Amino acid sequence: MINLRGSPGTGVTDATDTEVAGGDSPAGANPAPGDGEPVVDLADVTKTYEGAVAVEALSHVSLSLPAGSYTAVMGPSGSGKSTLLNLVGGLDTPTSGTVRLDGQDIAALSDAERARARGRTVGFVFQTFNLMPRLTAVENVALPLVFQGVDRGERRERAADLLSRVGLGDRLDHRPSELSGGQRQRVAIARALAADPALLLADEPTGNVDTETGAQIMDLFAELHEAGNTILLVTHERRIAEHAERIVHFRDGVIEDVEEL
C-alpha cells in the first residue's frame, strides 16, 4: 500500500495506520464519500472568460471533495472539465462564487499565497507527464521539495523511497527518454506525491499509455485511495472513471449528473 499522508520527515506511513472515516457532505454540496471536512469546496462557482465573445465555462457549480474521497469527472470537450481542474488546483480563480482549497478562499489570496497553498496542498498528474528531460527520475521526483527548502540528502532519500513504492526502485538514475510511457507516468505520480499533498489531481493520466499500462496506473491510484489519499481524476473513458467512488458528469459548464458507484 502507498500512503504519503503521514509521518514527519519522510511523509510516509504504512497504509494500515490510516483509516478513512465516513461522514456527511457539507450542506448544499453534492454528496460524496470521505471525511467530514472537505479538502476542496466549490460553492455556486461561475467562471467566465472575457474576449470578443464572453464564454461561461462553468455556471453555478457546487461540488465538495471530502478528505479520502475518489471522484472522477467526465464530459465532452468544452464541458468545463479543464476549467474545474484549474479552479480546484488553485491555478485560476472564479468569476463568482467561492472555491475553498484546504479551507482557504483562493480568490482572497495573493498570487504568491495561492502558489504556496497550491504547492502545499495539491499534487498534479498530467497526461503528457511534464517531466524535465535532463533530470533523472529521482531528480524529477525531488524537484517539488527544492521549493520547500528540503536539504539535498533528504530530497533524494524521500524521492528514492517514493520511486520504490511505485515500482521504480531500480530506475532512480534513468532519464525520461530511457523510460517507457508507463514508467514516466509512475515517475510523474511519485513527483505529485513528493510534497505529501492533501489532494491529487489527475488529468487524463492514462491518455498516453497502452491499455495494459493504463490498468496498472489505475491499480496504483486504487492503492493511493485505499491508503487515504483524496483523488480527483478527469477522464473521457468510462472504464477509467469507474475506478472512482463517484462520477460527476459535466455538460455545457454545469453538473448534469452525479453517479455514485
CA dihedral 49, 51, 53, 59 (to 10 degrees): 10
Domains along the chain with CATH numbers: 15-260 (3.40.50.300)
CA distance 138 to 191: 9
CB atoms within 10 A of CB 20: 19
CA distance 177 to 193: 22
CA distance 125 to 187: 10
User: Are 40 and 213 contacting, i.e. CB atoms less than 8 angstroms apart?
Assistant: no
Query: For position 163, what pLDDT does the model report?
Result: 95
Measured in whole angstroms, the distance separating CA 73 from the mean position of its chain's CA atoms is 12
* pLDDT of the chain, 261 residues: tens digit per residue: 345 443 333 333 333 333 333 333 333 334 344 445 799 999 999 999 998 999 999 999 999 999 999 999 999 999 999 999 999 999 999 999 999 998 999 999 999 999 888 888 999 998 888 999 999 999 999 999 988 889 999 999 999 999 998 999 999 999 999 999 999 999 999 999 998 898 999 999 988 888 888 898 999 999 999 989 999 999 999 999 999 999 999 999 999 999 999
Q: What is the grid cell recorded at 60?
A: 453555478
Query: For position 207, what pLDDT does the model report?
Result: 87
